[in-house]
Amino acid sequence: MIDSNLQSTREVLVFLMKYVSGKVLDFGSGRAKYKKIISTHANSYTAFDMFPGSNVDVVGNALDTPFSNNEFDTIISTQVLEHVAKPWLMIKEIGRILKPGGRCLLTMPFLVPYHPDPQDNSRFTTNGLILMFKDEGFEVLECGGYGRFFTVLSEFMHFVCFDPYKKSKRGSAFVMNFFGRIAKFLDRFVKNDKIYANVFIVARKL
């Protein structure tokens, strides 16, 4: 099981690298900020996103990708599913291009402010994610929440004080980094597992 002290998506991803191998697809990669972490565990790495960019290898639609059936050993998707209009169809598409026995590692926000990029459509509890993956023929290996009570508060403070979709005020990054570190420290003393900022799931295609 995942360490309850892990608070960020980066930390959770590092912890879950034991599930990563073979030909890997970063699904909704954006700027591919986790490429270095993922590549150390992969035979090959492909960055896929709906928007072109210097770090994107393939551009396309999350619900109708250009990849072949059963192409990838591992698919990783971080903080993407909430932006998709029909998230269950994205899970179905992941199942199509993942090899039998292949693994999907996915994270998404739960108690996080509305953030259109370009849309923000949904939130799922851990149970909701489990049901959706099982409906698409996956076996769930791990699922949980991360980022406890004080991390949730710091996320909302970030949006209230410094809108991340507007030009940052001078010093805002320093202030939010400071509060984030305090939140991470305080969360070590929080035992309530019903409050979490984000959710993750590791599922295997049957």
Q: What is the value of pTM for the model shown?
A: 0.90
Closest by CA to 72, choosing from 39, 46, 35, is 46
CATH superfamily of 9-148+191-205: Vaccinia Virus protein VP39 (3.40.50.150)
**Which tens digit of pLDDT belongs to each residue from 72-97?**
999 999 999 999 999 999 999 999 99
Enumerate the domain spans of the chain.
9-148+191-205, 149-189
**Which tens digit of pLDDT belongs to each residue from 52-61?**
999 999 999 9
Per the model's pLDDT, the better-predicted residue between 183 and 20 turns out to be 20
Cis peptide before 118 (omega within 30 of 0): yes
CB 107 within 8 A of CB 79: yes
CB 29 within 8 A of CB 6: no
**Which tens digit of pLDDT belongs to each residue from 124-174?**
999 999 999 999 999 999 999 998 888 888 888 877 776 666 665 666 667
* Mean pLDDT computed over every residue of the chain: 90
Output the six-digit token pair for 22.
Answer: 């073979």
Residue with tokens 């508060």: 153
Window from 18-22, 161-165, 191-195 with minimum mean pLDDT = 161-165
Helix (H) or strand (E) holding 35: helix 35-39
CB 163 within 8 A of CB 98: no
